[in-house]
């Protein structure tokens, strides 16, 4: 593969001109940038992302010891509080950390709700330390746009609620995961597939995407087998409402988020899976449930790859056309569904 020196020789210009043109430096004329890019493409040149990141640090005048830092911005008071919100956040963080190490980056975490901390203060810290790679971690309420100088950062969002910031998104493909669960439960012989969603996931329009997945999956079921969605507030103990829904619509399996309904079924004397099947869209590590492993560690790893690629391409600030990369989960057989059709 040719290098920049060979491209410079072919064009009769300096290596510095080629290097600056390939990074889109505005001190090089548009005509020359186009000539360099076309020649590089014709010769089969491919930039080395890791060298680009290093050279960006050198040109900035910062010490090399400061290079390769990616910040993880978390909307919580502490790591412990964040992990308590959902077990998958720990898996996500592990995926981010593992991929950072593999790519030669150091990860630092910042908490928006930490006492004495604010978004603008974190922004100042990141600027002072020259940290330009940023991952916006799940979970985020999405009710505010943070006052930060976003044009400074190569940034990727890790939750749908960050979309108001106009950054590329890497997240679980909730809709696909629900459709996959319906397909697998149908394969196991279930016909009346019910789904139970926490009320907050329905009221928060479009975030996350389990509801669209349910509506699409139901569309392809025979009309006589369609079971309306059950929505409840689990923490206010909606067992009576759940019992009424179960009695009226008689699903032979219930798809849930984390299997909270198992406790209600136990109190009702309903056996799982003998009397009714139960499956989870968000499996925990070591769960006995059947359901979906969201591959959340892989979601975090891909977020790191996207940020480092942006740094290498010198792409900073909100995206004019934000992209979404949705990672599908996988079905895992467990003890809460029948094991054969």
Please give the CATH number for the structural domain made up of 64-172+297-328.
3.40.50.2300
**Residue 208, pLDDT score:** 73
Every domain range in the chain assigned CATH 1.10.260: 4-46
The pLDDT of residue 235: 66
**What CATH code is assigned to 4-46?**
1.10.260
What pLDDT does residue 341 have? 64
Q: What's the confidence (pLDDT) of residue 27?
A: 82
Which residues of the chain does CATH 3.40.50.2300 include?
A: 64-172+297-328, 174-294
pLDDT at position 47: 64
Q: Would you identify the CATH topology of the domain 174-294? A: Rossmann fold (3.40.50)
Nearest alpha carbon to residue 313 among 35, 21, 46, 49 = 49
Q: What is the pLDDT along the chain (341 residues), one digit of tens a residue?
A: 688 889 999 999 998 899 888 877 778 898 998 899 899 888 888 765 545 555 555 455 544 444 579 999 999 999 999 998 888 899 999 999 999 988 889 999 999 999 999 999 999 999 999 899 999 998 876 667 788 999 999 999 988 777 667 899 999 999 999 999 999 999 999 999 999 998 877 776 656 789 999 999 999 999 999 999 999 877 666 889 999 999 999 999 999 988 889 999 999 999 999 999 999 999 987 789 999 999 999 999 999 999 999 988 888 998 888 999 999 999 999 999 987 76
């Amino acid at each position: 593969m040719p290098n920049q020196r060979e491209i410079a020789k072919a064009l009769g210009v300096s290596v510095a001109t080629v290097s600056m043109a390939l990074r889109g430096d505005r001190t090089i004329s548009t005509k020359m940038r186009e000539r360099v890019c076309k020649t590089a493409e014709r010769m089969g040149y491919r930039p080395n992302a890791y060298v680009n990141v290093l050279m960006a640090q050198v040109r900035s005048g910062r010490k090399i010891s400061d290079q390769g830092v990616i910040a993880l911005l978390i909307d919580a008071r502490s790591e412990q509080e964040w992990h308590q919100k959902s077990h998958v956040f720990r898996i996500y963080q592990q995926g981010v950390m593992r991929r950072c190490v593999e790519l030669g980056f150091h990860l630092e975490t910042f908490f928006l709700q930490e006492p004495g901390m604010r978004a603008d203060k974190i922004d100042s810290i990141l600027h002072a330390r020259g940290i330009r790679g940023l991952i916006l971690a799940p979970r985020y309420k999405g009710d505010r746009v943070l006052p930060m100088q976003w044009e400074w950062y190569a940034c990727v969002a890790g939750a749908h609620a960050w979309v108001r910031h106009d950054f590329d998104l890497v997240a679980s493909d909730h809709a696909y995961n629900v459709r996959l669960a319906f397909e697998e439960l149908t394969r196991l012989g279930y016909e009346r597939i019910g789904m139970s969603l926490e009320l907050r996931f329905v009221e928060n329009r479009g975030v996350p995407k389990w509801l669209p997945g349910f509506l699409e999956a139901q569309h392809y079921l025979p009309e006589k087998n369609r079971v309306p969605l059950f929505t409840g507030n689990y923490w206010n103990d909606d067992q009576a409402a759940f019992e009424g829904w179960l009695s009226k619509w008689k699903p032979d399996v219930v798809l849930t988020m984390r299997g909270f309904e198992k406790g209600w079924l136990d109190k009702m004397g309903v056996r799982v899976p003998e009397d009714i099947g139960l499956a989870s869209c968000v499996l925990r590590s070591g769960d006995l449930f059947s359901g979906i492993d969201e591959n959340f560690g892989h979601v975090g790893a891909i977020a790191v790859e996207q940020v480092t690629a942006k740094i290498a391409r010198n792409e900073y600030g909100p995206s004019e056309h934000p992209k979404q990369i949705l990672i599908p989960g996988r079905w895992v057989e467990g003890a809460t569904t029948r094991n054969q059709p």
